[in-house]
Structure 1
C-alpha cells in the first residue's frame, strides 16, 4: 500500500473515540478522524509525531484521517504504528495476492467478509484442495516487556471469532487466525492474558483444536523527508500462546 501526501503533526489528544486534535507543522490545530474504536493502549501518546491523510470528499465533516504515530523505543530508533484499523485487511489481501504469506499461498479464489454460521470472517480462500477461513486481527500493543499483545482491552467479539474458526475446523475446513502486526517495534506476539484472560484461554483451546495461528508484521518505507510512503506485510513473526518472557 502506498501513501501519498501525508502531513505530519503532533498529537495533542484523542477523545470521543473517533476524534483527535493534532497540531500541524504549520502551527494550525486540526481535528482528525481517528479510525480506531479500541482502547489504543500504548499508541495514544500525546506529544508524539503523527501523520494524517487528507480527504477530498466534500461531504466529510473532517478533512483529515489519522494514519500513523511515531513512538519512542528505549535504546533504539523510534517505531511506527498504524492506528487505522481499516488498513490491516488491505495489507493482508495484498500479501495474499502476491504470495508473501507462504502458509496461505496457492489459493485460486478469495472472498472478503465471508459469512459463516453466526459470524462473518474476514476472508475465505478456496481451491481444489480445501476451503480456508481467515480472520485478521491488527496488533499495535507493545508492552514494557518488549512483546506485542492482542487484544488491547477485553474483546468479546474477538473471542466469538475464535469460536467461529474452531467451528470451521470441526466441519473439516481449515481455519487461520492472522495477527497483522502494525507496529515496527514488535517482533513477537502473544495473547494479552493480563488484559483479557478469557480471550487468551480461548485462543489456547482453539489452537489445540486445530485453528492455526500466524503473525506477520508490517514493514514501512519512508521517503527522504522521513514521511511514511509505503507499507506492506513482509515479516513472519513468532507467536507464543502464553505470556512471553521479557525481551533481552
Structure 2
C-alpha cells in the first residue's frame, strides 16, 4: 500500500485526546496532526520521538496533517489503524497470504451477526463462508514480541464472539493480526493490559476461530505485508 507522499519528518511534542498530536516540523513550524489511532500507543507517544506525517490538499479537512509513522531505534512503526484493511485487501487480490490463497473472491465490510460488519467475507457465494477480521498491531514492550491490544477493547471482544458464532453455524472464521512494525518476530495477546480480550481470545480459540499474524515491510513510501509470525496462544 502506497503512503501519501512526500511524507514530512518532524518531532513529536505530545499526543493527546487520542486523536491529536502536536509536532514540530524540520522547518521549525509547530502543527497539530490527526492521529488515526484510538489505542494507548504505549511506547509510541513519547515526546521527542521522530515521526512522519502526511499533508492533505483537501480544503474541507479540519486538520491538514495526519500522523503516519513513528521512528524508533529499532525501525518504523505504522500507527494509522485505517491502513491494515487496505494492506490486507491488496494482499488478498495478489494472493500474498498462502493460508487464504484458495479463495477466488472477497467482499469488504459485510454486515453479519448482531449489528456487526466483518472486514472481509471470502468466497461469499459458498454455502460455507469464511469470515476474516483484521486487527492492527503496533504494541511491543520489547524482546521482539508484538502484542495486542494495548488497552481493553469491547469492540474487539465483540468481534471474537461474533466469529465464534460463525464457526458454530458451520462457517470458517479467522482473526488476522497485522503487525505494523519491523522489529518483531512473534506475537501474543496482552493479558496484563487487556485481560478481558485475552480471555475472549482463549474462548474463541476453543470455539474454533483461527488466528493468523503477519508483519509488514515499512518505509516512507509504502507499507506491505511481509512474513507470517508465530502466535503464542493463551493456554488458560
How many corresponding residue pairs? Answer: 232
Query: Distance in 2 between the 1:163 and 1:129 partners?
Result: 21
Note if 1:144 corresponds to 2:136: no
Any residues of structure 2 matched to 1:5-16 within 5 Å, and which? Answer: 5-16=6-17
Whether the 8 Å CA contact 1:2–1:231 is kept in 2: the answer is yes
Q: How far is the alpha carbon of 1:112 from its aligned partner?
A: 1.0
Q: How far is the alpha carbon of 1:129 from its aligned partner?
A: 7.4
Note if 1:69 corresponds to 2:67: no
Q: Deviations over 1:121-169 (max 9, x none)?
A: 1110016574110111101100134311111001111111000000000
Note if 1:240 corresponds to 2:232: yes
Aligned to 1:79: 75
User: Structure 1 runs of 4+ off > 4 angstroms?
Assistant: none
Among 222, 229, 234, the residue aligned to 1:230: 222
Q: How far is the alpha carbon of 1:96 from its aligned partner?
A: 0.9
Aligned to 2:108: 112
Aligned to 1:156: 154
Q: TM-score, normalised by structure 2?
A: 0.94
Aligned to 1:2: 2
Query: Distance in 1 between the 2:127 and 2:171 partners?
Result: 10
Gaps of 5+ in 1: 73-77, 222-227, 244-248
Whether the 8 Å CA contact 2:71–2:77 is kept in 1: the answer is yes
Whether the 8 Å CA contact 1:200–1:241 is kept in 2: the answer is no
Secondary structure of the structure 2 residue equivalent to 1:229: coil
Query: Distance in 2 between the 1:33 and 1:238 partners?
Result: 33
Note if 1:92 corresponds to 2:88: yes
Query: Distance in 1 between the 2:113 and 2:144 partners?
Result: 38
Note if 1:25 corresponds to 2:26: yes
Q: How far is the alpha carbon of 1:45 from its aligned partner?
A: 2.0
Aligned to 1:101: 97
Larger mean CA deviation between 202-211 and 29-38 belongs to 202-211
Tell me: CA distance 1:233–1:129, structure 2 relative to 1, closer, same or farther (3 Å).
farther
Query: Distance in 1 between the 2:95 and 2:40 partners?
Result: 32
Aligned to 1:189: 187
Whether the 8 Å CA contact 2:137–2:177 is kept in 1: the answer is yes
Aligned to 1:246: none
